[in-house]
Amino acid sequence: MSACPNAAATTVDTAAESADPCCAAPLPVLGRDVTVPLVTGGEVTYAALDYAASAPALQRVWDDVAAYAPYYGSVHRGAGYLSQLSTDLFENSRATVAEFLDCRPGDQVVFTRSTTDSLNLLAAVIPADCEVFVFETEHHASLLPWRDARVTYLNAPRTPEQAVATLERALADRTVTIEGGYGPALVCVTGASNVTGELWPVRELAAAAHAHGARIVLDAAQLAPHHPVSVRELDVDWVAFSGHKLYAPFGSGVLAGRADWLQDSEPYLAGGGASRKVARRADGGVDVEWHTTAARHEAGSPNVIGVYSIASACKALTEAGFDSLVARERHLIAKVREGLAEVPEVRVLSLFGDDAPRVGVISFVVEGWNSSHFAAALSAEYGIGVRDGLFCAHPLVRTLLGSDPQDPGECGAPEAAPGERSLNAIRVSFGAGTPDEHVERFVGAVKELVRDGAQWKYRTEDGRCVPDRG
């Protein structure tokens, strides 16, 4: 059944691309022509350089969603044409995501709200005696869900090899059961840091986990938008990611991987859709038979548009070709890093060193500047959107800044006045929709701000550094 009978499929326009992948045109994204006012007067095209927080929707995704929207209907069990059409689209989207991730036969694709939701779902289904191992370098979505498990937090490694060695030691030292073996264990690791952009040795960490009888879940929120992710090749047990970082910001996420723990647990949410059969007992209670498919953890009316948008993004990125996308992103990374290296006052944050492979996520601090003040000036005076704070990775940023764990500092809320030192950093991030002009404007603005200072006065209001218009 066709999802949108009267809508022609939108395709990625590659006509403008050069034979040189580094010179390929950025993928069209929604909002690419939006202009914003400058506090100094006039307007400028907005430079969206906060992809690591949420990437703009691909034009292809927006067009596909708009074409489907008139045909929207509630999925599963509906007798009407639109319900059946939407069910077909929903389940085909599941197959598209499984193909995008190169899932194994028997793997399940569960649709969630986000990476955070996916990892909380996994935390809810792990065996009661499971030990969890997680590096302090993780985003809070990976660091915090394991509230009912025994958790070992691993110190930040300074090389990929040290990461593998640290995990191997921790797994070898874990608790031995009464029977003389090890109980269940789970390793949670990012594929690419949301602070430094550095790629983690996922395949090697997966091999170490499996060698010690543990399983591994990959937080691919920052990896999937930039590099191909193969569940088979990486040999991970599960992978989680969000649509809003994959150019599909419509409120859905994914948890994909092994079915056994998902099938053996109680549903993440109890309700319609998760249940196969519900009947009253003679004693007045209720007996429930739950689904054994992904529906077991998808109670309630699912976000069909969010799910379809993820599938559309998966297709668009695959058709554009990750080889070309990666090459172009490396070109942008080099532009930014080379530009920042020309400013002695700038210190780029890194775990693994300058030569480590990375995605388009770079965090830095500027000597003599409050990071929130600097980010506010980039926005107000240059029309450039970056992020400042601790990036929901407080332990990692504190480690990279060399701070005491008790030093004050809060994600996105500076406690120091403009010009004073603060425990936060600035993050610039970009991807498949970023034109060269945006990163060139960013580098030029950094140099100008460091050399000449801000042209406007700023103050702190409701925890944010803002232009003083009084």
Q: Please identify every residue annotated as catalytic.
A: 392
Work out the burial of residue 219: count CB atoms within 10 Å of its CB; fewer than 13 is exposed, 13-18 middle, 19 or more buried: buried
Euclidean distance between CA atoms 236 and 143, whole angstroms: 18
Mapping DSSP onto H, E and C, the string for 132-197 reads EEEECCCCHHHHCCCCCCEEEEECCCCCHHHHHHHHHHHHHCCCECCCCCECCEEEEEECECCCCC
Q: Which long-range contacts (CB under 8 A, 24 or more apart) does 338-345 make?
A: 339/439, 339/442, 339/443, 339/444, 339/446, 339/447, 340/364, 340/443, 340/446, 342/447, 343/446, 343/447, 343/450, 345/369, 345/450
The number of beta carbons lying within 10 Å of the beta carbon of residue 199 is 20
Report which residue type is found at 248.
Answer: A
Closest alpha carbon to 370 in 332, 420, 330: 420
